[in-house]
């Protein structure tokens, strides 16, 4: 158990809909990262938050957005869903967030499997 | 930008065989290097890491050495077990943020 929790575990929805994925980081970790895992694209970084602020953006679509709340949990919002958004979405957390120094480790949650029909 | 290339799978071995999964990277500066493992239906777990050149990461019989001259971080294990069957990902973190850049993953199947 990594200490990172994600809900829900599975999500099935229709095209055009909007969903929210939730992540609670490990106790003490200030950074939260979101990744998408799909068969064709592999594991891709979407976005990072540190202590409530956006720190880095990757290949995140404009239809997707995220935020980190004062209690440090994070939500990833996916809207106007398309079939191609079907994937495993992972959240990870780490202590680091400010620039400088090597990354020690990112701890991954079990993922949310999103199926868009 | 940063990139990671790891050998295509799948890799199928018999129990007690020697394992090598090749990983090379492209990055500016001095990235940290990682191997993550994903068991069926689970999230990613850190297997081992190295943060500077010539460092050797090791865990559960797996080893990888950070080779800056060849920009490589190959994963090895002397004697694999059935329980090692999983997908292995090479990854790096470097530059101005801490995001991980992953290779495509290598599926390892170990037969008894």
Task: Kindly state whether A105 is in contact with chain B, defined as any CB-CB distance less than 8 angstroms.
Answer: yes
With beta carbons less than 8 A apart as the criterion, state whether B61 and B78 touch: yes
The beta-carbon neighbor of B104 closest among A42, A56, A107 is: A42
* pLDDT classification of A102: cutoffs 50, 70, 90: low
pLDDT in tens, B35-55: 999 998 888 999 999 998 999
Q: Per-residue pLDDT for A100 more than 70?
A: no
> CB–CB of A102 and B32 under 8 A?
yes
Q: Are strands B3-6 and A112-116 parallel, antiparallel or unpaired?
A: unpaired
With beta carbons less than 8 A apart as the criterion, state whether A48 and A29 touch: no
Q: How far does Cα A25 stand from its chain's mean position?
A: 11
SS3 A82: coil
Can you list the residues of chain B whose pLDDT is less than 70? 95-96
pLDDT in tens, A2-13: 899 999 999 999
For residues B48, B53, B56, B57, the Cα torsion angle rounded to the nearest 10 degrees is -10
> CB–CB of A48 and B98 under 8 A?
yes
With beta carbons less than 8 A apart as the criterion, state whether A15 and B57 touch: no
């Amino acid at each position: 158990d990594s200490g990172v929790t994600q809900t829900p575990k599975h999500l099935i929805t229709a095209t055009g809909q909007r969903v929210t994925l939730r992540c609670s980081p490990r106790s003490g970790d200030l950074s939260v990262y979101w990744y998408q895992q799909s068969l064709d694209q592999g594991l891709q970084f979407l976005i990072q938050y540190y202590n409530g602020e956006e720190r880095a953006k990757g290949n995140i679509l404009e239809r997707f957005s995220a935020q980190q709340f004062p209690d440090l949990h994070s939500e990833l919002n996916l809207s106007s869903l398309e079939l191609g958004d079907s994937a495993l979405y992972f959240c990870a957390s780490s202590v680091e967030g400010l620039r400088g120094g090597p990354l020690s480790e990112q701890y991954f949650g079990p993922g949310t499997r999103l199926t868009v029909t | 930008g940063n990139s990671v290339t790891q050998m295509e799978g799948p890799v199928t071995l018999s129990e007690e065989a020697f394992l090598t999964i090749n990983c090379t990277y492209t990055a500016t500066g001095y990235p940290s290097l990682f191997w993550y493992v994903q068991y069926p239906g689970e999230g990613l777990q850190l297997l081992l890491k190295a943060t500077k050149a010539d460092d050797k990461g090791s865990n559960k019989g797996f080893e990888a050495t950070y080779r800056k001259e060849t920009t490589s971080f190959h994963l090895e294990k002397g004697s694999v077990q059935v329980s090692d069957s999983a997908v292995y990902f090479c990854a790096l973190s470097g530059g101005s943020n801490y995001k991980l850049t992953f290779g495509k993953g290598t599926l390892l199947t170990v037969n008894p």
